[in-house]
Amino acid sequence: MDNERMRILVVKAHPHDFTHSAGTLGIHTSKGDSVTLVVATGGKRAHNEKLATELLKPEAEQDLAIINEPPDEYARQKADELRRAAALFGIGDVRILDGGEPFRADENPAVVEQMADIIAEVRPHILITQSPYLKGSGPHGLESGYLGNSHTETAYAIQRAQGMVSTPEHGAKRRPHRIAATFYPGVYFDRGDWDLLVDISDWYEQRVEAEVLFKSQGHNEAFARKRIEISCGAAGWTAGTSYAEGFVRPKPEVFGSLTLSPYTLRSAEESPQEHMQRVTGVTT
C-alpha cells in the first residue's frame, strides 16, 4: 500500500447515512484516496419530517403541496442534497440504487447484484457500511424482537455481494476480489465497543454544513451544530481531541508488531494544559 492510493467503498441505506463517517472520508480524499459512495435506496419513504409536521396540524391548516408531494420528487431533493453534501468531502462518485423501501435484502436481488458489480469494478481496500448486528436485549434486560430495518438489511445485502465477488460460483463472470477491511460507524454501537477513533477536528465545519444541506429532513444550522457537538464532540472527548468519528471492526487487524499511533504517543507525552488546548481547539 505504500505506493498505492486507498480505494474506499461506502455502502449505506439512505442518503443522509454517509454523514456519520464523512469527516473520515474527507481526510482520505484530501490525501488522494478514492471514495465511492453507494446508497441502497433514494430514501423517498424515510425521514420525511416535513410531511410529519404537516400531518400534526389541523387538516384546514395543512400545506397541501407538502401533503401531496410525490415520493419521487422528495427522492430527487434528497439525491441533490446527497451529492452536494458528498462534494464537501471530495466525493464525486455517488451512486443511488433503486432499492425498495423499506429495504429488505431478500426482496432486492437486483440491488445485491449491483453491489457485487460495484465491488468488482471499484475493487476497494476498505468497506464502510451499516452495522449488521442486532442488539441482544431491550430495556431492563428484556429480550427485544427482530430489529431488522433498512440499515441492517443493507448490511446483509453488501455481505452477500461480497461473498458473490470473493468466492464466485460456477458460471460467474466477475473477476474475484476480497475487501481487506470493513468498518462500521460507531454511531450504531455503544461507545465502549468502539475499536478506533479518527480525529476530524479540521472537518467540523464541513460536518455541520452537510447536516444543514439535508433540509428535506428538517435540518437547520442550529440543529446541525448541536448534533455535531453532541455526536462528534462526545467522540472527540473520548479520543482526547475536539471532534472525532468512532468505528467498529468485525475482526481484529493483524500487525507485524505492537503499533502505537502518533495520537497515542502524543497523549502520553503532552502536558495537561496541552491536552485541554487540543480538546477545546483553543490556544491560550
Map residue 94 onto helix, strand or coil. strand
Query: Is residue 4 pLDDT above 90, yes or no?
Result: no
Considering the chain, what percentage of its residues have pLDDT values greater than 70? 94
How many residues belong to the chain?
284
144 or 274, higher pLDDT: 274
Q: Half-sphere exposure of 166 toward its Cβ, with a 13 Å CA cutoff?
A: 11
Handedness of CA 216, 220, 221, 223 (dihedral sign): negative
The mean per-residue pLDDT over the stretch 270-281 comes to: 88
The mean per-residue pLDDT over the stretch 190-199 comes to: 93
Per-residue pLDDT tens over the stretch 77-128: 999 999 999 999 999 999 999 999 999 999 999 999 999 999 999 999 999 9
The mean per-residue pLDDT over the stretch 23-32 comes to: 98
pLDDT at residue 227 in the model: 96
Q: Average pLDDT over the chain, rounded to whole?
A: 92
Per-residue pLDDT tens over the stretch 124-165: 999 999 999 876 556 666 655 555 589 999 999 999 999 999
Considering the chain, what percentage of its residues have pLDDT values greater than 90? 77
pLDDT at residue 137 in the model: 56
Residue by residue, DSSP assigns 51-71 as HHHHHHS-GGG--HHHHT--H
Contact 19, 46 (CB under 8 A): no
pLDDT at residue 142 in the model: 65
Burial, 35: exposed, middle or buried (Cβ in 10 Å; 0-12, 13-18, 19+)?
A: buried
Per-domain residue ranges of the chain:
7-255
279 or 231, higher pLDDT: 231
Phi, psi for 144 (deg, rounded to 5) = -95, 160
Alpha carbon distances (Å) from 232 to 15, 186, 284: 19, 10, 23
Q: Which of 227, 222, 237 shows the shortest CA–CA distance to 207?
A: 227
State the Rg of the chain over Cα: 20
Q: Where would I find the H helices in the chain?
A: 22-30, 49-56, 64-67, 71-87, 109-122, 150-166, 204-213, 221-239, 262-269, 272-280
7-255: CATH homologous superfamily?
LmbE-like (3.40.50.10320)
pLDDT at residue 138 in the model: 61
**CA 100 to the chain's CA centroid:** 20
Beta-bridge partners for 240: none
CA angle 260, 262, 265 (to 5 degrees): 70
The lowest-confidence range among 68-72, 134-138, 188-192 is 134-138
Map residue 41 onto helix, strand or coil. coil
177 or 272, higher pLDDT: 177
pLDDT at residue 143 in the model: 55
Cell of 122: 471499484
Residue 77, phi-psi category: left (phi > 0), alpha (psi -120 to 50), beta (remainder): alpha
pLDDT at residue 149 in the model: 87
Where do we find the cell 420525511?
A: 48
Per-residue pLDDT tens over the stretch 220-252: 999 999 999 999 999 999 999 999 999 999 999
